[in-house]
Structure 1
Amino acid sequence: MTADALPPGPNRRQWLQTAAGLGLAPGWAAGAESEKVLRIAFATAETGFDPTQVNDIYSRSVTAHIFEALYAFDHLARPARIKPLTADGMPQVSDDFRSWTFRVRPGIFFADDAAFGGRRRELVAEDYVYAIKRYADPKLKSPLWGYTESYGLLGLAEARQRAIDGKRPFDYDSPVEGLRALDRYTLQIRLREPRPRFLDFIAASDLYGALAREVVEHYGEQVSEHPVGTGPFLLAQWRRASRIVLVRNPQYRERVYDAEPAADDAEGQALLARFKGRRLPMVDRVEIDIVEEAQPRWLAFLNGEHDHIDRVPPEFISQAVVGNDLAPHLVKRGVQGRRTLRADYYASFFNMDDPLVGGYTPDKVALRRAISLGMDIEREIRVVHRGQGLACQSPYCPHSTAWRPDYKSEMGDFDPARAQALLDLYGYVDRDGDGWREQPDGSPLRMVWSIESNQRARQLSEQYLRDMTRLGLRLEFKVGKWPELVKAARAGQFQVWHIGNQAATPDSLGQLTRYDSRQLGSQNFARFKRPEMDVLFDRLARLPDGPERLAGFAEAARIAAVWMPYRVRFHTIQTWLAHAPVIGYRPPPFWQEWWHMVDVVR
């Protein structure tokens, strides 16, 4: 199944009643008098809207519509293609991929805000310099610093270290060799090592969008509550973990719908024909409710309280899909839908610093591999996720460069007999006859797995308990809210947890940040530290695309399976639905921005 694959069957056309608006009511043209509102739901609460502080997909979905990077992904191009957003053309790149020069397009302005003292504030190159420097500020403790530093901007890490060593504030006014505004509109970035795919890094509006220094200094520690960018929307309302409202940015520049779908992409060509030249955004308002439990989220969609659901909760998939076709009751109501294998994975991970499940000695490796072999992922997919998943074999997301649908590894094995043999071999045996294994030194073996406080997590806990009991491993659960568990995981205060990973670019290297020891506390939740993986990560970052790089990705997958800091479990089969008023939705494979690219006609 490809990123835009449609299920087969006699009603295949029902699934094609999507963005092109086939068969939908007329009256979509610009100039409609009523306010156009897109209503959606998040399954998990946001954490905030300061790009340096967020790393969850829900918060980043919001920031991607407020801030703007120099470049963006073409909304319709498949495979993905990057094009200018606030940049004036493509960058000038040195032959060795170490020097990148960008030109900011003049005449782009930030949204009006009190921080600007009543004057219009033009976007300039220095705003990107400042935004990137903030990731290096030790006071902010950005979870994305490790990822930012991995690209090796000359002098940026040294500037951070000077602030740490001197125990003084980060000096935003001191020049950084690899991050300079050459003039008002010209940005130059110089790197320690070649980075052929650096454009992927700079094209993330949710992370590296322009930020005005005046806004940060005006709002101080409350800047997360006052995101001000150059993007199509403004934050109008925010009740934490409850409701988020964005409204059209009235100062948004003249930007129109344009894209370059492949010539043989019928759906993309139909969308382009319908919307080309329409001013963006096409909706006036986006209302987001936080609905963590699956049942109320599904019922809200059925009742028309939400226009779009990006993933039908697995518990209700049989109500949405019959065989391979959209359910007749939804077809009758004009609901649109599609199934897609998402560029993601869900993984359980071990705290490699924990004295019980962490460590690199043979007995600790054996324990993690036994736990992984004892996890019945196919049953989890079938029972908990109602078949809406594909078992993982590697740490790579579908549709990214290193993912191979025919690849097979121990990462995908379920073999409780081998798991029990491993535990026996390394001394994890039941010494006192109570039915539970002890550690090799005879001390109790009690694992504590973190779990969220929602219905899906409760189902998962039942699955985990079943799997570990089969192996004779005692398991307890620490229940908490998502933001609390994220904070604890970043601080290394956990034993085992699970998390999702969605690819942000077509390149698979981003998925290996989970294994990069320089990204502990940020992308590397497992706190995994192996020099051979760090060396390989750096080599893969430097190499151009080709057979040598693919071989390196294969070696990284082998290392991941050997040490097993993560048990990568499944990729999501996403079934999205939208009510008839939503016209133009096409699921983006890697990026988060799309709210401004759809129309809503009621």
Structure 2
Amino acid sequence: MGLGKIGVVLAVLCWGFGASGETPSKPQAAKVLRYAFEIAETGFDPAQISDYYSRTATENMFDALYRYDYLARPAKVIPNVADGMPVITDDFRNYTIKVKPGIYFADDPAFGGKKRELTAQDFVYTFKRIFDPKTKAQIYPDLEEVKLLGMDALRRAAEKPGASFNYDTDVEGLRALDRYTIQFKMLESKPRFIYLLTESSVLGVVAREVVEKYGDKIMEHPVGTGPFKLDQWTRSSKITFVKNPNFREEYYEAEPPADDELSQEIYRQMKGKRIPVVDKVEISIIDEVQPRWLSFLGNEHDFLMYLPAQFANQVIPNNKLAPNLVKKGIRIERYAAPEVTFSYFNMENPTVGGNTVDKVALRRAIALAYNTEEEIRVPRRNQAIAAQGVVPPNTWGYDPKFKSEMSDYNPARAKALLDMFGYVDKDGDGWRDMPDGSPLVLEYATSPSAADRELNEVWKKSMTAVGIQVVFKTAKWPENLKAARAGKVMMWGLGNSASSPDGGSFLDFGYGPQKFEGNLAAFQNDEYDKLYRQQVVMPDGPDRLAIMQKMVKILVTYMPYKFNTHRIRTDVMQPWLIGYRRHPTSRAFWRYVDIDLSKLPKP
């Protein structure tokens, strides 16, 4: 994510201008997309990042083999730098893919002044890098689960004391068959492997020369083949991206649904335009909701990603755009986001962790005491629905009829559970204690924003009502994430958004081998892990769905997570922003939008 000055694109002068006396055409102003992230980025190395905002940046700088059609619904995978769809054999165990020739990385000193073409070997290196323990790749558990033949052995060899990862070792499961052909071979059937091959945000192809040149500084030096490149970066403040001059010749194409009038109109407006259309993207980091909204109202931003719930009553009364904003030409898009908000319990924490009956009772009592309805009504301004489990709307496997205890609000039952298992006030100070008499104090990680403070108030009010003391430990989001991955957080509330159309990908929340990674709670359950491994090799269908629902019930029973809501999101657009449409899983929208300079307000 980067920042810079607004440039101009000079019109090309006619040959012989000096002799003919012709006047040059007027310079055209640059088209700049401006908006804000609500949470700061962590960096730009696809292999190391995990947060939504950094992944938004990398998804627009790096390429994967495949991507999603921007307008197709349901989500449709199409070739990106791959030359056609994969040849799949051996019951989804072998994928052979051709890479398009003539695709180049952005210029960088690592290439010694030469243009660097993308090859199949670059994908081999990119995937191997995820297995290198030194990389500490956040997506490693997902790729480990694929079981590429030979890669686990290569990883284990690199984990030995004093050893390093050998990138030059040939492995059966990950090979460049020639300059433009890559082959993946897996131990087990992987019918949804194609979704991983769209993950440009975390599996975007990188060049070995770049990684080796910048070493530990690679988070600051993204070099991809995508439509944009980093221009300037002021950490946690502002980032500017500019067009990648080496980006291939590509034109807007899509398959909008025939019955979707908005997508059809966007397609008419954008069809045939060369991608990317805008020249520059400027991202501000504004964590407080009011200044983010005021920046949009003041025409400083072209787009407001996620209308803050605090302004829902003002902007979308009765869930329709307010008349005064309609008059300005402002537009909105509302959708059930494929995401889940949750609070987790660190299962290794001595206060709230563990699978003994009394610890399970404590977590279930806390969940029953938490007022999800108030969270939806007050901090979220009715812009959410209660979550019954981890699988979100608009993903495969979500069942709107499924009901569980997860969303129940029952303080009386919570108190009864606490009393039954000895969580009572033993010292008469008004707060419940642990069964051994030590204080029962929940430590909840949070961030210093108005939105977090409102959510904290619901937690405080809910816990106080049943006699549980809660204190809030405030830090910036990246700091909380670092502490969470180190197992140093007792409780934390955050959200997760789908990166593929498969709701089953959310089930790694409880998968033991991903503890403190995808499984932040560090939940361990043999039955859950067995079911997880079983469903991951199954094609989509009723049998897989039944297993997924059984896994959700296990999470409800042990309550390592309190899944709170699925948010109803609203994006807000200025009249001069053309072509925007929220995709269910992809964040790579920068290349698909345009700025109508004639509609921009005059300074």
TM norm structure 2: 0.93
Identify the residue that residue 83 of structure 1 maps to in structure 2.
Answer: 78
For 1:446-501, what per-residue CA distance to the aligned partner results, in whole angstroms no more than 9, with x for missing partners? Answer: 12111111111111221111111111111111111101000000000010001111
1:145/1:522 contact within 8 Å kept: no
Map 1:288-437 → 2, pairs under 5 A: 288-437=283-432
Identify the residue that residue 197 of structure 1 maps to in structure 2.
Answer: 192
Amino acid at match of 1:186: T
Amino acid at match of 2:81: T
Identify the residue that residue 104 of structure 2 maps to in structure 1.
Answer: 109
Identify the residue that residue 242 of structure 2 maps to in structure 1.
Answer: 247
Identify the residue that residue 505 of structure 1 maps to in structure 2.
Answer: 500
For residues 521 and 173 of structure 1, the distance between their equivalents in structure 2, rounded to whole angstroms, comes to 30
For 1:227-263, what per-residue CA distance to the aligned partner results, in whole angstroms no more than 9, with x for missing partners? Answer: 0100000100111100010001111110000011223
1:509/1:537 contact within 8 Å kept: no
- Secondary structure in 1 matching 2:67: strand
> How many residue pairs are counted as aligned between the two chains?
572
Q: Residue 269 of structure 1: CA displacement? A: 2.3
Identify the residue that residue 133 of structure 2 maps to in structure 1.
Answer: 138
- Secondary structure in 1 matching 2:70: coil
2:383/2:569 contact within 8 Å kept: yes
For 1:21-58, what per-residue CA distance to the aligned partner results, in whole angstroms no more than 9, with x for missing partners? Answer: xxxxxxxxxx9922100001000000000011110000
For residues 53 and 565 of structure 1, the distance between their equivalents in structure 2, rounded to whole angstroms, comes to 26
For 1:513-542, what per-residue CA distance to the aligned partner results, in whole angstroms no more than 9, with x for missing partners? Answer: 111111123211111111111111111111
2:445/2:473 contact within 8 Å kept: yes
Identify the residue that residue 537 of structure 1 maps to in structure 2.
Answer: 532
Structure 1 stretches of at least 4 aligned residues deviating more than 6 Å after TM superposition: none
Residue 547 (structure 2) aligned to one of 529, 552, 565: 552
- Secondary structure in 1 matching 2:60: coil
2:395/2:502 contact within 8 Å kept: yes
The reply on whether 1:211 has 2:210 as its aligned counterpart is no
For 1:392-411, what per-residue CA distance to the aligned partner results, in whole angstroms no more than 9, with x for missing partners? Answer: 01110111111111211001
For 1:82-103, what per-residue CA distance to the aligned partner results, in whole angstroms no more than 9, with x for missing partners? Answer: 0000000000111411111111
Q: Residue 166 of structure 1: CA displacement? A: 4.2
Amino acid at match of 1:42: F
Q: Residue 391 of structure 1: CA displacement? A: 0.8
The reply on whether 1:495 has 2:498 as its aligned counterpart is no
Identify the residue that residue 187 of structure 1 maps to in structure 2.
Answer: 182
- Secondary structure in 2 matching 1:384: coil
Identify the residue that residue 516 of structure 1 maps to in structure 2.
Answer: 511
Higher RCO (C-alpha under 8 Å, 6+ residues apart):
1
2:352/2:363 contact within 8 Å kept: yes
For residues 138 and 440 of structure 1, the distance between their equivalents in structure 2, rounded to whole angstroms, comes to 42
- Secondary structure in 2 matching 1:417: helix
1:78/1:261 contact within 8 Å kept: yes
For residues 325 and 520 of structure 1, the distance between their equivalents in structure 2, rounded to whole angstroms, comes to 42
For 1:290-325, what per-residue CA distance to the aligned partner results, in whole angstroms no more than 9, with x for missing partners? Answer: 000001001000001111001111111122112232
Q: Residue 209 of structure 1: CA displacement? A: 1.4
Amino acid at match of 2:108: D
For residues 304 and 145 of structure 2, the distance between their equivalents in structure 1, rounded to whole angstroms, comes to 35
For 1:347-366, what per-residue CA distance to the aligned partner results, in whole angstroms no more than 9, with x for missing partners? Answer: 00000011110000000000
Identify the residue that residue 575 of structure 1 maps to in structure 2.
Answer: 570
For residues 386 and 175 of structure 1, the distance between their equivalents in structure 2, rounded to whole angstroms, comes to 55
- Secondary structure in 2 matching 1:570: strand
For residues 157 and 369 of structure 2, the distance between their equivalents in structure 1, rounded to whole angstroms, comes to 47
The reply on whether 1:471 has 2:471 as its aligned counterpart is no
Residue 287 (structure 1) aligned to one of 276, 282, 294: 282
For 1:549-586, what per-residue CA distance to the aligned partner results, in whole angstroms no more than 9, with x for missing partners? Answer: 11011101111101111100001111111101100000
For residues 324 and 546 of structure 1, the distance between their equivalents in structure 2, rounded to whole angstroms, comes to 35
For residues 488 and 135 of structure 1, the distance between their equivalents in structure 2, rounded to whole angstroms, comes to 22
For residues 102 and 446 of structure 1, the distance between their equivalents in structure 2, rounded to whole angstroms, comes to 54
Q: Residue 412 of structure 1: CA displacement? A: 1.1
For 1:146-195, what per-residue CA distance to the aligned partner results, in whole angstroms no more than 9, with x for missing partners? Answer: 12211111221221110111422211111122111111111111112111
1:64/1:593 contact within 8 Å kept: yes
For residues 265 and 323 of structure 1, the distance between their equivalents in structure 2, rounded to whole angstroms, comes to 23
For residues 152 and 563 of structure 1, the distance between their equivalents in structure 2, rounded to whole angstroms, comes to 29
Amino acid at match of 2:532: F
Amino acid at match of 2:426: R
For 1:326-383, what per-residue CA distance to the aligned partner results, in whole angstroms no more than 9, with x for missing partners? Answer: 1111111111112111111100000001111000000000000000011101101111
Map 1:451-462 → 2, pairs under 5 A: 451-462=446-457
Amino acid at match of 1:323: N
Amino acid at match of 1:68: D
Identify the residue that residue 252 of structure 2 maps to in structure 1.
Answer: 257
Identify the residue that residue 70 of structure 1 maps to in structure 2.
Answer: 65
The reply on whether 1:592 has 2:595 as its aligned counterpart is no
Amino acid at match of 1:588: H
Identify the residue that residue 92 of structure 1 maps to in structure 2.
Answer: 87
Identify the residue that residue 601 of structure 2 maps to in structure 1.
Answer: none
Work out the percentage of aligned pairs sharing the same amino acid.
48
For residues 368 and 569 of structure 2, the distance between their equivalents in structure 1, rounded to whole angstroms, comes to 26
Map 1:107-186 → 2, pairs under 5 A: 107-186=102-181
1:74/1:83 contact within 8 Å kept: yes
For residues 555 and 55 of structure 1, the distance between their equivalents in structure 2, rounded to whole angstroms, comes to 28
For residues 400 and 152 of structure 2, the distance between their equivalents in structure 1, rounded to whole angstroms, comes to 38
Map 1:213-232 → 2, pairs under 5 A: 213-232=208-227
1:359/1:365 contact within 8 Å kept: yes
Residue 32 (structure 2) aligned to one of 34, 37, 58: 37
Q: Pairwise CA RMSD of aligned residues?
A: 1.2
Q: Is there any run of 5+ residues in structure 1 with no aligned partner, and where?
A: 1-30
For residues 334 and 268 of structure 1, the distance between their equivalents in structure 2, rounded to whole angstroms, comes to 18
Deviates more, 1:68-77 or 1:504-513: 504-513
- Secondary structure in 2 matching 1:194: coil
- Secondary structure in 1 matching 2:566: strand
Amino acid at match of 1:371: I
For residues 454 and 276 of structure 1, the distance between their equivalents in structure 2, rounded to whole angstroms, comes to 41
Amino acid at match of 1:284: D
The reply on whether 1:61 has 2:56 as its aligned counterpart is yes
- Secondary structure in 1 matching 2:473: strand
TM norm structure 1: 0.94
1:68/1:210 contact within 8 Å kept: yes
Amino acid at match of 1:351: N
Residue 481 (structure 2) aligned to one of 473, 477, 486: 486
Identify the residue that residue 48 of structure 1 maps to in structure 2.
Answer: 43
Q: Residue 413 of structure 1: CA displacement? A: 0.6
2:396/2:501 contact within 8 Å kept: yes
For residues 254 and 163 of structure 1, the distance between their equivalents in structure 2, rounded to whole angstroms, comes to 40
1:146/1:520 contact within 8 Å kept: no
For residues 76 and 272 of structure 1, the distance between their equivalents in structure 2, rounded to whole angstroms, comes to 8
- Relative distance call for 1:474 and 1:185 in structure 2 (3 A) is same
For residues 293 and 137 of structure 1, the distance between their equivalents in structure 2, rounded to whole angstroms, comes to 38
2:266/2:578 contact within 8 Å kept: no
For residues 118 and 258 of structure 2, the distance between their equivalents in structure 1, rounded to whole angstroms, comes to 35
